Structure 1
Amino acid sequence: MAPKPQVHLFFDCLSPYSYLYYQALGHYESALPAEIFRRPVFMAAIFKGTKNTGLPALNPQKFKYMQEATARLGKYYGIPNFNIVDEFAKQALKQSSVRTMRFVTAVQKEQPQDADRLIRELFQRLFIHNEWITSAEALEKICKKLGLPTSLIEATNSEVVKKTLKDNTDEALAEGAFGVPYVLLKNQGETEHFFGVESLPQLCHSLGVEFKGPLNV
């Protein structure tokens, strides 16, 4: 019996489009004949590794379109309050997601049953409530709300966690990633590559599943 296809979603919680893809993929997960792997990466390292400087935060017209497009996509995929405030453009250039994504990695390793609700909480805080999620204090608040031990924050300093996040990021780069969300479909010895939430219908098609719009909304 042939192994099931694998879908690898590389994401960063500071990426609004990662939130949208994460949400949309969740709607289709039960319909896809594939194993789903949600893999945190350090987005800034991908930008640096590919010399990608075309960031929306650096271009007022791109940023304005991103605000409009993500709000529209949020409504489409069941996040009606999705909102990128003007201040996000300035803050995004100052903030680093490395602590946050190591935190996600630590939870996936040590308490995988809590990973999904943690990731959703991180996305919601930033893109619905406009609260930054990069400081240790912010992560402590999240731990308190979700009932997670703060030792998971301390685990962000472990070499195993650091290496796992780096390995994920390096694999994404090796597979051609230039930003996130970036998706691999590994099937019968071949790999297809997808970028952006708009590529979800193509992923469904490759897996023989009809895309029916925003399911479960």
Structure 2
Amino acid sequence: MPMSSSRKVVKLFYDVISPYSWLAFEVLCRYRNVWNIDLKFKPAFLGVVVFHGSGNQEPGLVQNKFHYMVTDLKQLSEFFGVPVNPPLPCKKGTLNVMRFVTAVAEKEKEGGVLVERVSRELWKNVWSTHQDITQPASLIEAGLKAGLSANEVEEILILSQSQQIKDKLKSVTQEALDYRSFGLPFIVCDVNGKTEVFFGSDRFELMAQRIGEKWMGPHPNKPTATM
């Protein structure tokens, strides 16, 4: 069957405290110009709202799962080419962090270039260099490295504490829950009027099949070796 020419909307719900969200984020960023998709970033709050809202339990509270994740993330870091560096960080709430990311997204409105850059820098801070991203200094560093000016970062820090941004983050997180999300990353694809949902960073082959695209591994633009 021929693939529909209309672009599919792919929404990525994520929190930067989630390393699996980082893996999904980087893969989808690589594929957005390979697949016929419009990628929409959806900063959400993994902590209390998602886990309590869905009845799920944080992985760190399940000892066997915690130990598995350390090995799993080392293997996935190599496979996906994303510098996730276990052990897992000290667990702190990322409510203010995700409000900051939401404020970047709200200020940018369209395109998603800045929210992509800021999110990536925050992931690097927490998962590569093990910084405490709940500290304002880490948010400022991420904003500056992402290309924002010092004045813009200050404006976004102030905006992130506004009721407008608090409500926006609640709304996006509730949107994920309305899709029956039980954790992040959570990916929602709108395909020809039908909604397809995928949890985690290991469903790309299935996603490709469902949206009528081809999965070419974690590095679609990397030349393959010839015999």
Report the TM-score when normalising by structure 1. Answer: 0.90
**Maintained 8 Å contact 2:187/2:199:** yes
The residue type equivalent to 2:26 in the other structure is: Q
| Residue 96 (str. 1) matches residue 93 (str. 2) | yes
Q: Closer, same or farther in 2 for the Cα pair 1:154/1:31, shift >3 Å?
A: same
For 2:46 and 2:29, locate their aligned partners in 1 and report how far apart those are by CA, in whole Å: 21
Post-superposition offset of 1:49: 0.4
| Correspondence for 2:167 | 163
Aligned residues: 210
Post-superposition offset of 1:137: 2.9
For 2:146 and 2:188, locate their aligned partners in 1 and report how far apart those are by CA, in whole Å: 30
The residue type equivalent to 2:62 in the other structure is: N
| Correspondence for 2:86 | 84
**CA deviations over 1:75-129 (Å, ceiling 9, x no partner):** 11112x421225x2xx21xx11111111111111213442211111000111111
Q: Closer, same or farther in 2 for the Cα pair 1:153/1:204, shift >3 Å?
A: same
For 1:61 and 1:12, locate their aligned partners in 2 and report how far apart those are by CA, in whole Å: 23
Work out which structure has the larger RCO, using CA pairs closer than 8 Å and 6 or more positions apart in sequence. Answer: 1
Q: Closer, same or farther in 2 for the Cα pair 1:29/1:2, shift >3 Å?
A: closer
| Correspondence for 2:126 | 126
| Residue 64 (str. 1) matches residue 67 (str. 2) | yes
**Maintained 8 Å contact 1:67/1:84:** yes
Post-superposition offset of 1:151: 1.4
For 1:160 and 1:16, locate their aligned partners in 2 and report how far apart those are by CA, in whole Å: 28
For 1:18 and 1:126, locate their aligned partners in 2 and report how far apart those are by CA, in whole Å: 13
The residue type equivalent to 2:184 in the other structure is: V
Post-superposition offset of 1:70: 1.3
2:206 to 187, 202, 207: 202
Question: Which runs of 5 or more structure 2 residues have no equivalent in the other structure?
Answer: 223-227
**Maintained 8 Å contact 1:11/1:40:** yes
| Correspondence for 2:34 | 31
Post-superposition offset of 1:4: 2.6
List aligned pairs for 1:105-144, cutoff 5 A. Answer: 105-111=102-108, 112-144=112-144
| Correspondence for 2:225 | none
| Correspondence for 1:41 | 44
Post-superposition offset of 1:188: 2.0
Which structure has greater helix proportion?
1
**Maintained 8 Å contact 2:125/2:138:** no
The residue type equivalent to 2:218 in the other structure is: P
For 2:209 and 2:179, locate their aligned partners in 1 and report how far apart those are by CA, in whole Å: 21
For 1:194 and 1:84, locate their aligned partners in 2 and report how far apart those are by CA, in whole Å: 25
**Maintained 8 Å contact 1:6/1:187:** yes
The residue type equivalent to 1:85 in the other structure is: P
**Maintained 8 Å contact 1:25/1:200:** no
2:15 to 12, 15, 20: 12
Q: Closer, same or farther in 2 for the Cα pair 1:147/1:198, shift >3 Å?
A: closer
Question: Which runs of 5 or more structure 1 residues have no equivalent in the other structure?
Answer: none
For 1:183 and 1:142, locate their aligned partners in 2 and report how far apart those are by CA, in whole Å: 25
Q: Secondary structure at the match of 2:17?
A: coil
Post-superposition offset of 1:154: 0.9
Q: Secondary structure at the match of 1:31?
A: coil
Report the TM-score when normalising by structure 2. Answer: 0.86
